[in-house]
Structure 1
Amino acid sequence: MDAEEDMEDSWSLLSLMASCLMVFGGALPYVPQYQDIQKSSNSDGFSTRVCLVLLIANILRIFFWIGKQFELTLLLQSVVMILAMFAMLHLCCMVQYTNRVSTKQHRLSDLDFRYFWKWSAFEDYLLFCFGFTVLCAVVTLLLLDSVVYVETLGSLAVMFEAMLGLPQLLQNFHNGSTKGMSVKMVLLWTAGDVFKTTYFVVNESPAQFWVCGSVQIIIDVVILLQVLLYSQDTRVKLG
């Protein structure tokens, strides 16, 4: 009996640790990148489109949770990730303001699609996300009883999240460089996505979640190959 209780306590502790890691683990890989940008005062190696993808994905996931209650852990993870992305955007705006040569600023109120998500002020990013959240809230309130809408909402949320690494991958390809990125950082991303996908499968989360995790792992591997390839090219050029 004592052995069974010890086993149950151990499993509960392990489950709690896994849940805590799930809540904060997604944001952890951005800590070294935040520190690198802060230290170098250069945000060129980081694509703010990653923030756009994650903000939309996690806002949609919150409304998906309202329509279909799954693990509270995943809801808390979305809140933490949204806060982390706002922190990254705030830092990038501060760095770009410090390094700006031209006095020309691009604002959301200009309604110039060429500069969408390339605004000069952090407040514009907040305003866009607030407007998007209000729109989602109104539509969800009207269609909350529709199973098709709720499932579609969940699919959209994980589809955006699955594309998380795509902006970074494309920026790396366009620049022909992975400056500001390291093998360690990408391995952290990959390990986090592997853990996350395993968590989804073990906890029998909605199918959308583990499909999302699988796609993210594939993109992570491609970015890792980019880091290895471009760093090797740099060494050859220097040699």
Structure 2
Amino acid sequence: MDAQGFDWLLVPLHQLVSWGAAGAMVFGGVVPYIPQYRDIRRTQNADGFSTYVCLVLLVANILRILFWFGRRFEAPLLWQSIVMTGTMLLMLKLCTEVRVASELSARRRFFAAADNKDEEGKAPPRRPYPDFDPHHFWHWSSFADYVQCVLAFTGAAGYITYLSIDSAVFVETLGFLAVLIEAMMGVPQLCRNHRHQSTEGMSVKMVLMWTSGDTFKTAYFLLNGAPLQFSVCGLLQVLVDLAILAQAYAFACPRPKPAPHTAHPASAKAL
């Protein structure tokens, strides 16, 4: 039987593989955050996860959605950005609730120790979104403030894009910024780990899934002829993931203890 006789099987199989790859592209980016989300819910501690990861991904995916209006890339990449935006908002909601509850609990213990019943139930001071103190940026005490910030950024970026959509230079720059910022996704976690000299509270499963997902995504970009910016920054993203895994391995390995100081034999004889 010639090859044409298998067309009835090959064509649906090829279509099925294409759908599977598209589904993996859309939802695969969400999967790494499931173990981190569950760890935070279980321990009620979000200190090990850098919420700046959410900030980077929100900015990158909003810019990528706007880039689509200027250059219509593949639909799975657009839906991936929409799904990832929702996922990051869910992560921020959980982290904010856990952090505020932890601060309130610590304050209650403090005032109980001071035996000041009037202050015992007082919540920590609220840090609103319009507060432009850089020390408080992205450390607000209400999830609504994060939503307001994201909406304000989306509105401003969308208005600028609407005015400049006919400029090819602007559109290409927008696409490059989107993928470059996304490639820096792991940098906040990398810096947080280095600052604390620990990866405690960070889900290693999440980073392993980052690495496998970003590798798959980069290969997808290359094989499907996505814009060059996507492929280059995807490779950069894989390198950052590998650096975080190297950190986790280095901090997990026990450090050798210094050898005990022993007196020189000649000194011992003299004594």
> 1:235 deviation in Å?
10
Q: For 1:95 and 1:217, how far apart are their aligned partners in 2?
A: 30
Greater fraction of residues in helix? 1
Q: For 1:185 and 1:46, how far apart are their aligned partners in 2?
A: 10
Identity of aligned residues (%): 48
Please say if 1:145 is aligned against 2:166: yes
> 1:182 deviation in Å?
4.2
Q: For 2:201 and 2:89, how far apart are their aligned partners in 1?
A: 19
Q: For 1:93 and 1:28, how far apart are their aligned partners in 2?
A: 21
Tell me the matched-pair count.
236
Q: For 2:172 and 2:219, how far apart are their aligned partners in 1?
A: 22
Match of 2:23 among 15, 20, 24: 20
Does the residue aligned with 2:138 lie in a helix, a strand or coil?
A: coil
Structure 2 residue runs without a partner (length 5+): 108-123, 258-271
Q: For 1:185 and 1:114, how far apart are their aligned partners in 2?
A: 28
Verify the 8 A CA contact 1:23 1:73 in the aligned structure 2: yes
Q: For 1:234 and 1:207, how far apart are their aligned partners in 2?
A: 43
Match of 1:211 among 232, 235, 249: 232
> 1:8 deviation in Å?
1.8
Verify the 8 A CA contact 2:32 2:205 in the aligned structure 1: no
Structure 1 residue runs without a partner (length 5+): none
Give the TM-score taking structure 1 as reference length: 0.95
Cα distance, 1:111–1:202 mapped onto 2, change above 3 Å: same
**1:16 partner letter:** W
Counterpart of 1:57?
A: 60
Q: For 2:233 and 2:219, how far apart are their aligned partners in 1?
A: 12
> 1:234 deviation in Å?
7.6
Give the TM-score taking structure 2 as reference length: 0.84
Counterpart of 1:46?
A: 49
Point out 4+ residue stretches in structure 1 off by more than 4 angstroms.
none
- Larger CA Rg, structure 1 vs 2: 2
Does the residue aligned with 1:128 lie in a helix, a strand or coil?
A: helix
Cα distance, 1:68–1:40 mapped onto 2, change above 3 Å: same
Q: For 2:231 and 2:83, how far apart are their aligned partners in 1?
A: 20
RMSD across aligned positions (CA) = 1.4
CA-to-partner distance for each residue in 1:11-50, whole Å, 9 max, x for gaps? 1101100000000001110000000000000000000000
> 1:110 deviation in Å?
2.2
